[in-house]
Amino acid sequence: MEQISDDIIKGEHECFVCKTKFSWIAIVKGKHNQDTIEKVYKINVFATAVAHKWSVWNNGKASGADLEIYVDCPECNCKNKLSSHIVTWKTDT
């Protein structure tokens, strides 16, 4: 997995069921037009990022969320749960 902006992560995955390899992208926060993201990053498989823990580090200068990523295989449609990923943001302080 790779964080490509404050709001977006992408990755590659092999389906647990049918073994199809594919790239995916997930919007972590904010409102984004999926058509625009698809054109910019050339990826049309969108994953769902679910934040289940929020943390603050470095005396409040950084924060982030521990995410679980869910993505449907474009071949067999099986929902795959991927490893958690911590996304960090700098705070305004």
pLDDT digits 0-9 by tens, 35-61 = 888 889 899 899 998 988 888 878 877
Highest mean pLDDT among 40-44, 60-64, 89-93: 40-44
Task: Find all residues with CB under 8 Å of 39, minimum gap 6, and list them.
Answer: none
Look at residue 91 in the predicted model and tell me its pLDDT: 66
Cα separation, 16 vs 42, whole angstroms: 23
Q: Is the pLDDT of residue 9 over 80?
A: yes
Kindly report the length of the chain: 93
Q: How far apart are CA 80 and CA 48, in angstroms?
A: 10
Average pLDDT over residues 24-40: 89
Torsion, Cα 39 43 48 54, to 10 degrees, reads: -80
pLDDT band at 92 (very low <50, low <70, confident <90, very high): low
